[in-house]
Structure 1
Amino acid sequence: MELRVLNYFLTVAREKTISRAAKVLHLSQPTLSKQLKELEETLGVKLFIRGSRFITLTDDGIYLVKKGKEILSLVESTTANLLNDNSISGQIAIGAGETRAFEFIGQLLRDLRLKHPDIHFQLYSGNSDDVLEKIDYGLLDFGLVIDPVEKQKYDYLQLPLVDHWGILVSASHPLAKNKYITPADIQGTPLLVSNQSLVDNQLSEWLGASADYLNIVGTYNLLYNASLLVKENMVSALCIDGIINTAGTNLIFIPCSPSLIVTVNIIWKKKSNLFKCLQSIFAINS
């Protein structure tokens, strides 16, 4: 599959019609249709269904759109970095889970840009599982994730920062006046928890038992939408402090007792040449 033809397909998927995509690509409609037909034959799948007005992507077409965007993004960033003579110039793709530590990274990146204005950043937000997957596929240069993480798979730097777990509740919740939250306090409370695969281990250690006895009614990927349900006093959310700004809202964050603290790491693929770049970033404020 040629990158040129992949770009044709993504343009058609975006524009919804072959005629409009042909204009964008400066191709004739028959030429574009022929290229798409050959792409389907090469892959052995049907990518879209032509309707009276718009095309509809098949399941295979939806999959190719997702992966095709990732492929072209990787090609673009790789090309930009290879064409630049400066080892810390070009494009840096950064992924981050939900942690206040990104403010620290933001300060360093600001200083880096002042020193090397040719650097560009591509930011991706997701939970740790999402970030790790994109690092594995080479779509991110490095990621910012909280512990635990499978460090035997990655190189990493542990930041001099920690995050604190607690519970996010509505001001009208019975627990809202608590200064701290204990495992006994949340028994029976309808809870949302992060769907990150390794969070269960953290909760089990804090609870002193499996989290199965908690009243977990759902999970969240990123906290913002979950916080909207908390505002309605439908549920409470086990989460990290500072991700949601509670000032001026009816939301209250209550820290865990005993404290549930996690460290924060910058991680990247083993045997990559990123360490030199990270050394340059961290040397700015040293």
Structure 2
Amino acid sequence: MELRVLTYFLTVAREKTISKAAESLNLSQPTLSKQLKELEEELGVTLFIRGNRFITLTEDGLYLMKRGQEILSLVESTTTNLNKSEIISGQLTIGGGETQAFEFLGGILHELRDNYPEINIHLYSGNADDVLEKIDKGLIDFGLVIDPVEKQKYEYIRLPLVDHWGILVNTSHRLANKKTIQPKDLQQTPLLISNQSLVDNQLSEWLGGNLEHFNVIGTYNLLYNASLLVKEGVASVLCIDNIVNTANTNLTFIPFSPPLTANINIVWKKNLTLSSVAKEFLRLLKSV
């Protein structure tokens, strides 16, 4: 499969019609249709269902669209970094969960950009599972991940910071005036918890060994949308402090007692040949 034809496919998937895609690509409709037909024959699958007005992607088509976007993104970043290898420039991509540690990285990225203004920085937000998957696929250079997370197959640096766990509640909640929260306080409270794969184990241990004894009504990926449910009084959220700004809102954060903390790490793929940009970022990070 040629990258050129993959680009044709992704354009059709975006435009929803052969005619608009052909116009965008400066191709004739018969030429584009022929290329797509040959792509389907090469792969042995049907990628589109052609309707009266719009095309619809099949399940195979949706899969190719997702992977094709990842492939072209990887090709673009690789080409950019190679073409600009004579000077420190190119792209740096960092993925991370919600944590104040991004502010710590901000100082390093500020210095990096001051020294090398041609560097472009791309940020991706997601929990540790999402970030590590993208590192595995080579789609991001570094990940900022919050323990607990399996780091054995990655290179990593533990940052000199920790996050603190607690509960985000509505100010009208019965717990809102407490200074700290103990496991026994939560038994009657509808809760949302992080869907990160290993966080359940950490929270379960702090709660006494079994989440089933608590009223867990759902999970969240990133905290902002979950906090809107807290504002509406739907549930309270077990989360990390200083992610959602509670000033002048009907939200309040209460830390756990005994305290539950999480270490923060920068991780990257083992045995990876780093770009000049990534090497300089690591040098600055280690100097701090």
Pick the TM interval, shorter chain. over 0.9
Aligned mates of 1:17, 1:279 — CA distance in 2: 45
Separation of aligned partners in 2, 1:58 and 1:281: 46
Mapped partners of 1:252, 1:28: distance in 2? 59
2:266 is matched with 266
8 Å CA contact retained: 2:109, 2:281: no
Q: Which moved more, 1:168-177 or 1:207-216?
A: 207-216
Q: Would you say 1:107 and 2:110 are equivalent positions?
A: no
CA contact (8 A) 1:87 1:277 kept: no
| 1:44 lines up with 2:47 in the alignment | no
Structure-1-length-normalised TM-score: 0.96
- TM normalised by structure 2 equals 0.95
Give the SS at the match of 1:152: coil
Aligned residues of 2:168 and 2:253 also touching (Cα < 8 A)? yes
Provide the C-alpha distance between the structure 1 equivalents of 2:224 and 2:67, rounded to a whole number of angstroms.
Answer: 26
Distance 1:233 1:87 in 2: 54
- Between the aligned partners of 1:166 and 1:145, the Cα distance in structure 2 is 18
Unmatched tracts of structure 1, length 5 or more: none
Letter in 2 for 1:68: G
Give distance in 2, aligned partners of 1:86 and 1:214: 58
CA distance in 2, matches of 1:186, 1:273: 48
The DSSP-based 3-state class of the residue aligned with 2:152 is: helix
Q: Which stretch shows the higher mean deviation, 202-211 or 88-97?
A: 202-211
Listed as ranges, the matches of 1:1-286 within 5 Å are 1-86=1-86, 88-274=88-274, 276-282=279-285, 286=288
How far apart are the structure 1 equivalents of 2:86 and 2:167?
A: 46
Displacement of 1:279: 3.2
Q: Aligned partner of 2:239: which letter?
A: C
Structure 1 stretches of 4+ with a deviation exceeding 4 A read none
**CA displacement, residues 171-227 of structure 1 (integer Å, 9 cap, x when unaligned):** 111111111111000012110000000101211231231222111100011111111
SS at match of 1:151: coil
Structure-1 separation of matches of 2:263 and 2:80: 33
CA RMSD of aligned residues (A): 1.4
Q: Counterpart of 1:148 in structure 2: which amino acid?
A: P
Does the 8 A contact of 2:108 with 2:281 survive in 1?
Answer: no
Cα distance in 1 for partners of 2:267, 2:56 equals: 39
Unpaired runs of 5+ residues, structure 2, are none
Whether the 8 Å contact between 2:112 and 2:281 is mirrored in structure 1 is no
* 1:48–1:209 Cα change, 3 Å: same
Distance 2:69 2:242 in 1: 32
Aligned pair count? 285
